[in-house]
């Protein structure tokens, strides 16, 4: 990424000098691999196998909210927020910082 900045500065300099038209270099987009997800039935089977209610809740939260495991294990009861008749989880995430995640009625 750093070499792109240097290259673009050079191209801008060459354009100002009149040697070329103004262009910018960009990295090609990386092909995003489609992630294989579990079906609702597969998630239900995992939840059914869980022996404790706590474990079932963890599976449900992971499936319904898309939270990371580290975010789920750091949740506290104070993280549940009600706004306008809906419940949310106040999550401190990895890259995005704080965010509110809608909480499904099933959870």
> Could you read off the pLDDT of 47-104 as tens digits, one per residue?
999 999 999 989 988 888 888 888 888 899 999 999 988 999 998 877 767 888 888 7
What pLDDT does 65 receive? 87
Single out the residue of 84, 46, 83, 87 nearest to residue 63, CA to CA.
46
pTM comes to: 0.58
> Could you read off the pLDDT of 1-17 as tens digits, one per residue?
678 889 999 999 999 99
What pLDDT does 27 receive? 83
């Amino acid at each position: 990424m750093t070499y792109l900045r240097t290259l673009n500065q050079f191209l801008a300099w060459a354009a100002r000098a009149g040697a070329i038209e103004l262009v910018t270099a960009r990295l090609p987009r990386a092909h995003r691999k489609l992630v294989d997800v579990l079906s609702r039935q597969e998630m239900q089977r995992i939840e059914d196998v869980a022996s404790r209610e706590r474990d079932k809740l963890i599976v449900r939260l992971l499936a319904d909210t898309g939270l990371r495991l580290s975010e789920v294990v750091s949740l506290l009861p104070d993280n549940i927020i009600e706004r306008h008749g809906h419940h949310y989880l106040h999550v401190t995430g990895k890259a995005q910082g704080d965010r509110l995640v809608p909480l499904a009625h099933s959870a």
